[in-house]
Chains A and B, each alone.
Chain A
Amino acid sequence: MLLSTITRRKKIKKLIVIALSVVALCYILSPVYWVIVSGFQTERALEDRPPHLVPTKDVVTTNHYYYIFTGNIPPDSTLMLQSMYTMSGTLVYPAIINSIVIAFFVTFINLVLGFPAGHVFARYRFWADRKIFLLMLATRLLPSISIVIPMYIILNRVRLLDTKVALICIYTAMTLPFTIWILRAYFKNIPIAFEEAARIDGCGYLKMMVKVVFPLARPGIIAALIFAFMTSYGEFVFATVLTQTIASKTQTAVLAALAQGMSTSRGMIAAAATLSFLPPLLLATIFRKHVLAGVSVNLKF
């Protein structure tokens, strides 16, 4: 083939890719843009048709955020709109903190327990190897809605309803199988030579894991942990049913309640939504390299 044809083809290909990327970017970014922008507009402005895509000076307001953080009705909002600022608005940031705390502990436990477990599944061949593994996978099969009531009964009996601990335990159980699965596949791709060398040098198990295996597998571990964090941060079913007071309510529960309230301020919901996705966004941005590193290719069952 002529070199010029190849270069031309490459150029056309690049143009098509850029065009499609722009379309994809619009699709991905526009809802996010909209929710951020709505949080800063007045309630009346949000009812305008067509809506203000780029807020101008007369529609911008920080009232919604003011209310969320102080619980006081903003001084310049009208009497009627006060009923739109339900008290739940002030629950938003405590709920976000609950979500962060819960997700943090879940991730931590996933690290402490899932990391060695994944390693063991990858390295050792023992009797129930595949069976236990499939069992773990099977636990993800029933939708949360159907095990919610048994869960409630159990928690009620041990007096752990409405606690963060309960949610942490449930989410850990939910995320461990995936963590172990991902890590197992990842480890299978790392040559065992490093570990053997460490053993020969006289390293104990713990030292080997921490000093040798962990650094090697770090990208995979972080990717799995981020997945665990995201899952527990955004979980809906258990968070709404098993929590009652702000002692344990997560942002998922509070936001769902807000969105359901009759005539709740749209702007406030948008502001709450924006705040609620900042923590995971921050996390994803800090660890973006690891999120993208992802999972190993050789996945065997």
Chain B
Amino acid sequence: MNTRGALKKNIFPYTVILPSFIFIALFLLIPLLYSLSISFQGYKYGVPTGKIVWFKNFVDIFTKETVAPGFYQSLFVTFKFTVSAVVAVVVISLGIALMMKEKCATSSLLKYALLLPYAIPGVVSAVVWNWIYDASFGVLNGVLYKLGIISEYIGIISNPDLALWAILFAYVWKFVPASAFIFSAGLATIPDSIYEAAQIDGAGTFRTFFQITIPSLMPVLQLVLVMQTMFALVMHFGLVFVLTQGGPGSSTRTLAWLVYMESFTYTRFGRGTAMAIILALIMIVFIYVYLVVLNHERRKMSGG
């Protein structure tokens, strides 16, 4: 009786997890593995050549003359965008969360307003931003013109220096709310008594922020950084697809965009999935860095 009970206890957690695991295995893991196998195959014009080329696709990406320069450039653009996006989202959403904490007239307005970009599906927001930026009829141009800031309509997406930042602006708009909510919840768990004590001790706003708020938010910050990095590497795709298609020039050709181009426009599925795998590896590296660095920080602050 005892052993049976013990066995039941041992397999019990597995039985609970099993259905979830089946779903994930069937609809994510298997296609994932299939993708991996595709990256090892040769493809010519959308049709598998039937030959296993092992790592040739990967090697080509890094060294082939017709592929590598574009790849390195996309790495550069991706890096630029990801870092800016993560920083922007984290800073702005933390700022908004702090503002919501202050009990004043606008804080509850903010709470409700944030629900809107969160609720709008990504593609819809891409289409809307595309119009806002339109060089001939866009409302952004219209407002700037009315305010007298510009004397005639300007092209934003057609400017290689501005295009990526225009995408960033639209991207941040969509992704700030979720992080703001998470930060808000995190802030709520910091007891007011700590703040009051700090105030009595004479600490100014900045000192309070850096010595109390940030350390207490470390785990949340970790979560948000990881999430936002994962998103920034991939979720800008809708915006690039609708607004710039990788242009002008190559100023918005990110790695995610390149994966799409390789797979569907060039029909080189082998190379396309290889690039996607490289993208995933980059994601893993970023996340690992966060976990290691931030855990170290946490240990430093809580221990010591």
Contacts and interface: CB of A to CB of B under 8 A. Distances in A.
Contacts of A170: 27
Contacts of A243: none
A273 B106 contact: no
A288 B31 contact: no
Interface in A275-296: 276-277, 280-281, 283-285, 288, 291-296
Contact of B256 (A143, A256, A283, A301): A143
A132 B17 contact: yes
Contacts of B143: 50, 53
Interface size class of B (residues with CB under 8 A): 35 or more
A176 B20 CA distance: 7
A264 to B, nearest CB: 11
Interface size class of A (residues with CB under 8 A): 35 or more
Contact of A174 (B13, B28, B35, B185): B28
A141 interface: yes
B113 A28 contact: yes
Given A20-B95, A266-B131, A173 B223 contact: no
B116 A281 contact: yes
Given A146-B35, A169-B27, A117 B20 contact: yes
B137 A49 contact: yes
B47 interface: no
A34 B237 contact: no
Contacts, number: 274
A210 interface: no
A129 B191 CA distance: 32
Given A28-B114, A173-B23, A277 B16 contact: no
Contact of B259 (A48, A145, A230): A145
Given A17-B102, A141-B280, A276-B124, A294 B24 contact: no
Interface stretch (A55-63, A72-80, A83-91, A149-157): A149-157
A204 interface: no
Interface in A211-266: 227, 230, 233-234, 236-237, 251-252, 255-256, 259, 266
A281 B113 CA distance: 11
A115 to B, nearest CB: 10
A35 B128 contact: yes
Contacts of A149: 35, 38, 263, 269
Contacts of B95: 20, 24
Tell me whether chain A's interface is mostly helix, strand or loop, or mixed: helix
Interface in A18-46: 18, 20-22, 24-25, 27-29, 31-32, 34-35, 38, 46
Interface of A: 1, 6, 9, 13-14, 17-18, 20-22, 24-25, 27-29, 31-32, 34-35, 38, 46-51, 53, 109, 113-114, 116-117, 119-121, 124, 126, 132, 136, 139-143, 145-147, 149-151, 153-154, 169-170, 172-174, 176-177, 180, 227, 230, 233-234, 236-237, 251-252, 255-256, 259, 266, 269-270, 273, 276-277, 280-281, 283-285, 288, 291-301
Interface of B: 10, 12-14, 16-17, 19-21, 23-24, 26-32, 34-35, 38, 92, 95-96, 99, 102, 104-107, 109-125, 127-132, 136-137, 139, 141-143, 145-146, 153, 173, 176-178, 181-182, 184-186, 189, 199, 202, 204-205, 216-217, 219-220, 222-223, 230, 233-234, 237-238, 242, 256, 259-260, 263-264, 269, 272-273, 276-277, 279-280, 283-284, 291
Given A13-B102, A147-B28, A299-B222, 8 more contacts: A6-B199, A9-B204, A25-B113, A47-B137, A53-B142, A270-B128, A280-B119, A292-B181
7 contacts: A28-B113, A28-B176, A50-B141, A141-B280, A142-B32, A143-B256, A285-B115
